[in-house]
Amino acid sequence: MEGDAKNLPLTDLDDRALMTLHVQGNSEAFGELFRRHRDRLWSVALRTLGDPEEAADAVQDGLISAYRNAASYRGDAAVTTWLHRIVVNACLDRVRRRTSRPTVALPDDDLAPEASRLTHTRDAMDERETALEINKALAALPPDQAAAVVLIDVEGWSVEEAALILDCPPGTVKSRCSRGRVKLAATLGHLRNPDSDGGVRPLPDSQVSTADSLVKGVGTR
Amino acid sequence: MSDSYLLDDREAKARFEAPPASDVAVISLLRSLPPLTMPADLVAALEGRLPAHTALIEVPPAEVVDISTRRRPRWTAPLAVAASVALLLTLGAVVFRSTDATIVNANGPILASGTEYTAANLATAVPELLNAAGLSATNTVSEARIAPADPATIAATFAASPDSLGACIDAITDAPTAQLVTVDMATFRGIQVGVITTRVSGARGLTVSVVPTDCGANNASILDQIVIADL
Look up the domain containing A88 and give its range: 9-216
CB < 8 Å to A135, chain B: 33
Pair A45, A217: CB distance under 8 Å = no
Tell whether A202 is covered by a domain: yes
User: What chain B residue is nearest to A60 in terms of C-alpha separation?
Assistant: B46
Tell whether A221 is covered by a domain: no
pLDDT at B204: 58
ipTM given for this complex: 0.75
Tell whether A2 is covered by a domain: no
CATH number, domain with residue A32? 1.10.1740.10
Distance CA(A182)–CA(B102), nearest Å, equals 70
pLDDT at B83: 41
Which range has the worst mean pLDDT, A31-35, A36-40, B220-224?
B220-224
Q: pLDDT digit string (tens) for B157-203?
A: 888 887 788 888 888 876 666 677 888 889 988 888 999 888 766 56
CB < 8 Å to A129, chain B: none
Average pLDDT over residues B100-119: 58
Q: Is the dihedral of CA B216, B218, B220, B221 positive or negative?
A: negative
Chain A interface test: which of B5, B30, B150, B187 (most A C-beta within 10 Å): B30
Q: pLDDT digit string (tens) for A153-163?
A: 999 999 999 99
pLDDT at A117 over 60: no
pTM of the model: 0.53
Average pLDDT over residues B64-81: 33
Q: Which of B228, B103, B225, B108 is nearest to B165 (CA)?
A: B108
Q: Which helix (H) or strand (E) holds A184?
A: helix A170-187
Tell whether A154 is covered by a domain: yes
Mean pLDDT of chain A: 76
Q: pLDDT digit string (tens) for A194-213?
A: 444 433 333 333 333 433 44
User: Looking at the 3D structure of chain A, how many domains does it have?
Assistant: 1
Amino acid letter, B175: A
Residues contacting residue A111 through CB under 8 Å, at least 6 positions apart: A208, A209
pLDDT at A44: 96
Q: Which of B186, B195, B196, B185 is nearest to B116 (CA)?
A: B186
Tell whether A3 is covered by a domain: no
Average pLDDT over residues A20-39: 87
pLDDT bucket at B63, cuts 50 / 70 / 90: very low
Residue spans of the domains in chain B: they are 59-228
Distance CA(B222)–CA(B231), nearest Å, equals 23
Task: Say if the Cβ atoms of A182 and B219 lie within 8 Å.
Answer: no
Average pLDDT over residues B87-108: 31
pLDDT at A210: 39
The percent of residues in chain B predicted with pLDDT above 90, rounded, is 13
CB < 8 Å to A212, chain B: none
pLDDT at B148: 62
Q: pLDDT digit string (tens) for B134-165?
A: 665 544 444 444 556 677 778 888 888 877 88
CB < 8 Å to A182, chain B: 1, 3-4, 7, 15, 22-23
User: What chain A residue is nearest to B152 in terms of C-alpha separation?
Assistant: A3
pLDDT at A29: 87
- CA distances A84 to A79, A92, B48, Å, are 9, 12, 21
User: What chain A residue is nearest to B7 in terms of C-alpha separation?
Assistant: A179
